[in-house]
Amino acid sequence: GAVVSQHPSWVICKSGTSVKIECRSLDFQATTMFWYRQFPKQSLMLMATSNEGSKATYEQGVEKDKFLINHASLTLSTLTVTSAHPEDSSFYICSAIRQEQFFGPGTRLTVL
Amino acid sequence: GQNIDQPTEMTATEGAIVQINCTYQTSGFNGLFWYQQHAGEAPTFLSYNVLDGLEEKGRFSSFLSRSKGYSYLLLKELQMKDSASYLCAVRDGETGGFKTIFGAGTRLFVKA
pLDDT in tens, B83-100: 999 999 998 766 555 678
CA distance B88 to B86: 7
Our CA-based measurement puts residue A90 at a distance from the nearest CA of chain B, in whole angstroms, of: 11
Q: Closest-CA residue in chain A for B4?
A: A43
% of chain A with per-residue pLDDT over 70: 98
Q: Report residue B102 CA to chain centroid gap.
A: 9
Interface touch A101/B33, C-beta < 8 Å: yes
Strand extents, DSSP E, A26-99: 32-38, 45-51, 57-58, 67-73, 76-81, 90-98
Tell me the CA distances in angstroms from A4 to A53, A84, A103, B39, B87, one per residue in order.
19, 25, 6, 19, 19
Interface touch B40/A108, C-beta < 8 Å: yes
> Looking at this protein, which amino acid is placed at residue B48?
Y
Residue among B45, B98, B102 whose CB faces A44 most closely: B102
pLDDT in tens, A53-86: 888 999 999 999 999 999 988 999 999 999 999 9
Q: Is A13 exposed, middle or buried (0-12, 13-18, 19+ CB in 10 A)?
A: middle
pLDDT in tens, B35-87: 999 988 889 989 999 999 999 999 999 999 999 999 999 999 999 999 999 99
Q: Count residue pairs from A and B with Cβ separation < 8 A.
A: 44
Contacts A102 to B, Cβ<8 Å: 45
* Contact between residue A46 and residue B100 where contact means Cβ atoms under 8 Å apart: yes
